[in-house]
Structure 1
Amino acid sequence: MTTHKKPIRVMLIDCRPLVLMGLQDLINARKPQMEVSGQATTYTNALDLADQLRPNVIFFSFFPDALNPLEVVAGLTRSAEMKVLVLKGLYEAVPVAQAIEAGARGIVLAEDPTESIIQAIITVHHRDTGKDRAWAGGLSGYSATGNIHLKCNLEQAKQARLTLRERELIRAIVGDPSAKYMSIAGRLGISEHTVHNHLSNIYQKLNLINRIDLLMYALKHGLINNEKPPESTWVELDLVARRNKTI
């Protein structure tokens, strides 16, 4: 007998009709794997609609509204089944750290390739270990638990899988975060297609979602010219769950 998996139900929250239309077309083109279950143009409507629809993944944009967006993110993520992805333009001022603290599972750049956006939806939907990252500022006393040493070992093991070419690409991205992939490819003497392939491998090896996730990770762990990692900015929350997982 053929079994049919339920589609990933995605809800969109944005005040811009063109953004909503573009995301809807992108996501619905992947039916039956995923589909848009609803849209909201105000935060009040978003909270009511999410309560009715119970979507799996919510694309959330920051925009002027009567409600505080961070409080809305916190409200939406009280249910573990609803996972928020913040949609951010490269030059938009969005409180990324606070959004993660409030419960968002990741940040998606509007300028990312469509495949990266689709993959972000799939990735967060299948993560069921709670928030993947939280900013250290909201975790007072966490370093006293003894898990920091475990975190370092896990991260070192993941980073050891990176090739020299992948590390070179990471340095290029961190050196110019706003550079287009074509420009990066030209500087490295490779094709744009090869850049995308390397990035896909990097995301998989480091358990990241997209380019902004990689940027924060690289700065945190000092993946630039073998520099010493800077002071901790965020720490993993699901270390215990990962101790027995093969990296």
Structure 2
Amino acid sequence: MSIRGNGAAPKVLAVSDYPVLNLGLEKFVCSNAPHLEWKGAISELGSLANAIKAGANIIMTDLDSALGQDCVNLLGPINQVSIVALIGSATEDLVEASVLKGLKGVVQKQAGSNVLLKAILAVHQGELWLDRQVTSRLLRGLTAREANPGSILDRLTKREQMIYKAVIKQAGAPSRLIATDLHISEHTLRNHLTAIYSKLGVSSRLELLVLAQKDVAQIKPALPKRG
């Protein structure tokens, strides 16, 4: 398995108040070296700043715990850190809210170690790794109708509108699959996304998804014509 993008392995930090979980994540990360680099584990938020300064850029946490939820609330908007959460008992509403706050990856606790590795590498490359149910809930309102042409689409060219709609409808898909569906290269897709991000004032696919969801939420259904 190769590391694409910037060529550097993800530097993984575990944030959990469960020693057994931290130990398991350490074993997992170290067994996948050099694809992953272990940066340690912490059990309180006060130590996060120092860990980030030390180079950690992937946070693994437990969304079933209060500490994991606090971690997402604190670090979600920070671009240089990506959070991947393990979930088991977390409610759908909590997971959805966490994704909108900046959570980049969601992995079920019963998933295999290969799934967790793929999730971390995908998130490190700027992708989203979301559970199918989470993606479905986030996109339910987006795929039911077109985005408001008076707010977002009128800022984009027709080609960019097509790219925008494809990325929104396939929010959890890897870039290569979206590019294949659009019959363009990943490089061309990235170029279009760069232009779209610039025009809409966002910097990532996650921010684009959040913007699109807010845009749809602001659309009020038209009143039926009388007569």
Instruction: Give the count of matched residue pairs.
Output: 156
Aligned residue number for residue 164 of structure 1: none
Q: Does the 8 Å contact 1:40/1:49 carry over to 2?
A: no
Query: Given the two structures, how large is their TM-score scaled by the length of structure 1?
Result: 0.50
Residue 236 of structure 1 corresponds to which residue in structure 2? Answer: 209
* Equivalence for 1:172: none
The answer to whether structure 1 residue 76 and structure 2 residue 80 are counterparts is: no
Is contact 1:9-1:37 (8 Å) kept? yes
Work out the percentage of aligned pairs sharing the same amino acid.
Answer: 15
The question of 1:25 aligning with 2:32 is answered no
Maintained 8 Å contact 2:168/2:209: no
Equivalent in the alignment of 1:53: 54
Structure 1 residue identity aligned to 2:119 = A
Preserved CA contact (<8 Å) 2:76 2:83? yes
Structure 1 pair 40/112, CA: closer, same or farther in 2 (3 Å)? same
Match in the other structure for 1:143: 147
Give the structure-2-normalised TM-score. Answer: 0.54
Residue in 1 that maps onto 2:12: 10
Residues 157-186 of structure 1, C-alpha deviation per residue, up to 9 Å, x if partnerless?
A: 97xxxxxxxxxxxxxxxxxxxxxxxxxxxx
Distance (Å, rounded) in 2 between the aligned partners of 1:237 and 1:112? 27
Q: CA RMSD in A?
A: 4.2
- The match for 1:154 is 166
Question: Structure 1 residues 238, 126: closer, same or farther in 2, change over 3 A?
Answer: farther
Cα distance, 1:154–1:32 mapped onto 2, change above 3 Å: same
The amino acid across from 1:61 in the alignment is D
**Structure 1 letter corresponding to 2:34:** P
Deviation at 1:31, TM superposition (A): 0.9
Written as runs of structure 1 = structure 2, the 5 A alignment for 1:91-170 is 91-93=89-91, 95-127=94-126, 135=138, 143-144=147-148, 145-147=151-153, 150=162, 154=166
Contact 2:12 2:40 in 1 (8 A): yes
Partner of 1:41: 43
Secondary structure of the equivalent of 2:33? coil
Mark the runs of 5 or more structure 2 residues left unpaired by the alignment.
1-5, 129-134, 155-160, 180-207, 213-227
